[in-house]
Chains A and B, each alone.
Chain A
Amino acid sequence: MITVKNNIFQGMIDILPLAISVVPWGILCGTISVDIGFNFWQAQAMSMFVFAGAAQLSAMALITSGAGLIPISSSVFAISSRHLLYCVDLRKDVHELPLKWRIPLAFFLTDEVYAITKSYIHKYDIFSPIYSLTAGIIFYLIWNLSTFAGIMLGQNINNIDKLGLDFAIVAVFIAITAPHLKNLPMLITALVSAISAIYFKSIYPDIYIVIAALIGMTAGYIASEIFE
């Protein structure tokens, strides 16, 4: 029998390596938000409430390029749409729980928390709300602390963009996507999306990410229907 105490402890242990690996990313988010003109609370609020690394970074990249509310929101929706999959996947385990459980479980449902939740279910054949919630809270605290560190860094160093922070974004995104390139539909998705992004950036600088993403997804979808 797995006890509540064990679940809390194991949630902490399991999320820790994943949480630590996003520390540089959190620092980056904090530093860049200061760099583009956010004040302390605005920069921290991004991590406290939006709480989504890829979405935060791309929102800031778009603000820099002068995009408005609608293009930024639609890009962030497109980026976050993968969470719809996690949400629908965990639905059968979560949707009978009371609202006071469903709201925090949803709020903390990041890529990392989803990943360890799935391996927990795989291992014990049961969903543990307390395990996932503990992992989510730990992840949230580390994410926000690293954002805080990034803000402090950003407020005290000038010309941070010269330190190659934009390349750090490139490296993080490649690290996430490259392992999938061995899968043919995923490779096609990436190639089509890359070419579309380069092409549409010069024509529609505001919404090229959403256009390129949709074209890439469509290409990947068609490829998977053909090859699988």
Chain B
Amino acid sequence: MKIWLLIVVLSMITFMTRYIFFSKIITYRPGKKLKNFLSFSAQSILTALWVPIVFKYHSNGTISYTDMSYLISTIFVLILGIYRVNMLLIVFLGLSLFLAIKFDLLSFVF
């Protein structure tokens, strides 16, 4: 794929979503219902992005966990997230746990 073309197209998309209602030409404004609908976009898309990374697909169509390091670290990060731990700390602790399990540093626990 032409990477530069992709970069140009994506740049136009992100700029337009931030600019369009600042424009004097556009008089349309989304109503209450559309705004409510859009307010679920980030939650929905980010979830759709991360969940499939944790699972993998077998050729026979069944789905399983990629490995225990993903599953355990994901549950850990979810708990921290629900308790509103600072994002930087979540990423640091989550990644540390993930790598520790992946490289067998916690083999005495799991």
Q: Which residues in B have their C-beta under 8 angstroms from that of A167? A: 53, 69-70, 73, 94-95, 98
B18 to chain A, nearest CB (A): 4
Q: Is A150's beta carbon under 8 Å from chain B?
A: no
Inter-chain CA distance A95–B74, complex, in Å, is 43
Q: Which residues in B have their C-beta under 8 angstroms from that of A46? A: 7, 10
Q: Is B108's beta carbon under 8 Å from chain A?
A: no
Q: Which residues in A have their C-beta under 8 angstroms from that of B13? A: 55, 73, 76-77, 80
Stretch from A2-10, A103-111, A115-123 forming part of the interface with B: A103-111
Q: Which residues in A have their C-beta under 8 angstroms from that of B69? A: 167
Q: Is A13's beta carbon under 8 Å from chain B?
A: no
Q: Is the interface of B mostly helix, strand, loop or mixed?
A: helix
Q: Chain A residues in contact with chain B, CB under 8 A? A: 20-21, 24-25, 38, 42, 45-46, 49-52, 54-55, 57-59, 61, 63, 68-69, 72-73, 75-88, 90-91, 94-95, 102-103, 105-107, 109, 163-164, 166-182, 185-186, 189-190, 192-194, 196-198, 201-202, 208-209, 212-214, 216-218, 220-221, 224-225
A196 to chain B, nearest CB (A): 7
Question: Which residue of chain B is the closest to A91 with respect to CB atoms?
Answer: B21
User: What are 21 of the A-B contact pairs (CB < 8 Å)?
Assistant: A20-B88, A49-B10, A54-B45, A55-B14, A69-B5, A69-B9, A77-B13, A105-B22, A169-B49, A171-B98, A175-B91, A181-B82, A190-B44, A197-B51, A197-B52, A198-B51, A198-B52, A208-B48, A209-B49, A213-B45, A217-B44
Pick the contact of B1: A63, A81, A164, A181 (CB < 8 A): A63
Q: Which residues in A have their C-beta under 8 angstroms from that of B7? A: 42, 45-46, 49-50
The reply to whether A193 and B17 contact each other, CB–CB distance below 8 Å, is: no
B35 to chain A, nearest CB (A): 6
With A76-B10, A91-B29, A164-B102 as given contacts, are A171 and B77 in contact (CB-CB < 8 Å)?
yes
The reply to whether B48 and A87 contact each other, CB–CB distance below 8 Å, is: no
Pick the contact of A79: B19, B45, B54, B73 (CB < 8 A): B45
Question: Which residue of chain A is the closest to B85 with respect to CB atoms?
Answer: A175
Pick the contact of B95: A164, A216, A218, A220 (CB < 8 A): A164
Q: Is B3's beta carbon under 8 Å from chain A?
A: yes
Q: Is B46's beta carbon under 8 Å from chain A?
A: yes
Q: Is B107's beta carbon under 8 Å from chain A?
A: no
Q: Is B110's beta carbon under 8 Å from chain A?
A: no
Question: Which residue of chain A is the closest to B89 with respect to CB atoms?
Answer: A175
The reply to whether B22 and A85 contact each other, CB–CB distance below 8 Å, is: no
With A95-B24, A106-B19, A168-B91 as given contacts, are A82 and B81 in contact (CB-CB < 8 Å)?
no
